[in-house]
Every structure is written in structure tokens, then in C-alpha cells.
Amino acid sequence: MDKAVNNKIGRGKSAATTRRPSRGEAEEAVRTLIRWAGDDPEREGLIATPARVVRAYEEWFAGYKDNPRDYLKRTFEETGGYDEVVVLRDIRFESHCEHHLAPIIGRVHIGYLPRNRVVGISKLARLVEVYARRLQIQEKMTAEIASCLDAVLKPHGVAVVTEATHQCMTTRGIHKPGVTMVTSRMLGVFRDRAETRQEFLSAIGMRGSIHGNGSG
Ligand SMILES: [Zn+2]
């Protein structure tokens, strides 16, 4: 199992580190998709579209440039004795699903019980943004945010709940507008102590709906 996983990661890495396509090649790929959709990339309304799409990609996928662990390591502060749960709710994010490149739009709620380190609100929002601006699946993003906070702040526990709509579900395929997917990752005291978990869930308005057994 480990070996298979490692091989998979290994392949992913080598794909990511092979030569990055040029801007021109990326624009050409967009022209191909426009032709595939059935339109003419040379017509007036579409002539500048490939360049725009490539610029939009630079923004949507800017998260590959940053290592959130290094970033958090530089920015945490001492707690000054604060030992209550910290909750930041409704951090809006926009991401893209790795299966369809379609937008995932939603909110992340983060809670942690500090041991001796805290981070500012803007840093948590930035942390979410770095992971969101990559090709994602919601379960993975939720877990990545939790384990990054856990690894760097070393708190007594971390709770992350993500609620999002997936445009690959709402605009195509099964066409389910209004469906929200909820994923969670509970670590440390949030996993082990029901009352701490409930305190967090009621702070984000989700009392009782999520259990402690990891991602759900
Ligand atoms: Zn999808």
C-alpha cells in the first residue's frame, strides 16, 4: 500500500517538475478546446480569449507557488497564556475540482485549541487560499488545511469544516443545484472530546451534525 502510494506521488511530482509549457503553448491548448466546443477561435469575440484564460489560470492556480507550512512557520505568535478554542468561520474560498477543472465555491471554518502558538486571522485566510488555488478535491483540501495547522502550530487540536458547491455537480452531470457538500477533519481534542467538538460545531452553527471520526 505504502509503496503504491509512494509511486503515485512520485509520478505526480515528476509530472509537475517536467518542463512547464510556455504561455504560447497554453494559449494554443485553449484554442484547441474552443474548436472542440464547436466554435472558431479566430473570430473577433474569441481572438483574445486564450490570453485571458491563461491569465485567469495564473490567478486561479497561484497556490502552487507557495508552501503554506513555511509561510505559517514565519508568522505564528506566542499565545500569551490564551488557552481557549479559537474559531474562524466563513472563510470564503474559490477552488477548482481536479476532475473537471470546474469551480468549487464555499466556506471553510477553522477551530484550534492553542498550546502556545496562535496565528492572525488574515494568516488563516491566506492558508485556505493557498490550498484553494490549486486543483483540488474538497476532502483533500479540508485535510491539508488541518494537517498544516497541526504540524506548524502544534495545538491541542484542530477542527476544519468545509461547505461548498461544486459546479461540476450543479451545471452538468447530475445537475443538482443547491447541493452543498460538507467535509470535516477533526484532530486531537476535537476528535477525542465530544464537548470540545460540539463547542466548535455550535460556534459555526452546525451543532451535532459531525462526528469525530476524521473526514466525513
Ligand atoms: Zn468535478
| C-alpha 89 to ligand 1 mean position (Å) | 25
Phi and psi angles of residue 158, each rounded to the nearest 5 degrees, phi first: -135, 140
What torsion, rounded to 10 degrees, do the Cα atoms 210, 188, 145, 159 define? 40
How far apart, in whole angstroms, are the C-alpha atoms of residue 214 and residue 30?
39
| C-alpha 188 to ligand 1 mean position (Å) | 31
Q: What is the pLDDT of residue 158?
A: 98
Q: Identify the active-site residue in 27, 156, 166, 199.
A: 166
Q: What is the pLDDT of residue 120?
A: 85
If 0-12 CB within 10 Å is exposed, 13-18 middle and 19+ buried, where does residue 149 land? Answer: buried
Give 102-130 pLDDT, tens digit per residue. 999 999 999 999 998 889 888 999 999 99
Q: Of 113, 132, 131, nearest to 186 (Cα)?
A: 113
Q: What is the pLDDT of residue 174?
A: 80
| C-alpha 212 to ligand 1 mean position (Å) | 26
Q: Identify the active-site residue in 27, 96, 97, 199.
A: 97
Catalytic, 168? Answer yes
Q: What is the pLDDT of residue 189?
A: 98
| C-alpha 198 to ligand 1 mean position (Å) | 31
| C-alpha 105 to ligand 1 mean position (Å) | 12
Catalytic, 148? Answer no
Q: What is the pLDDT of residue 56?
A: 98
Q: What is the pLDDT of residue 206?
A: 84
List, in order, residues 6 or more apart from 200 with CB less than 8 Å away. 85, 87, 111, 159, 190
Q: Identify the active-site residue in 96, 129, 138, 148.
A: 138
Catalytic, 166? Answer yes
| Residue segments in the chain with a per-residue pLDDT below the cut of 70 | 1-17, 207-209, 211-216
Q: Which residues surround ligand 1, an ion (CB under 5 A)?
A: 97, 99-100, 168
pTM, to two decimals = 0.85
Q: What is the pLDDT of residue 81?
A: 80
Q: Of 60, 66, 216, nearest to 148 (Cα)?
A: 66
Catalytic, 98? Answer yes
Q: Identify the active-site residue in 28, 78, 98, 211.
A: 98
The one-letter amino acid at 203: A
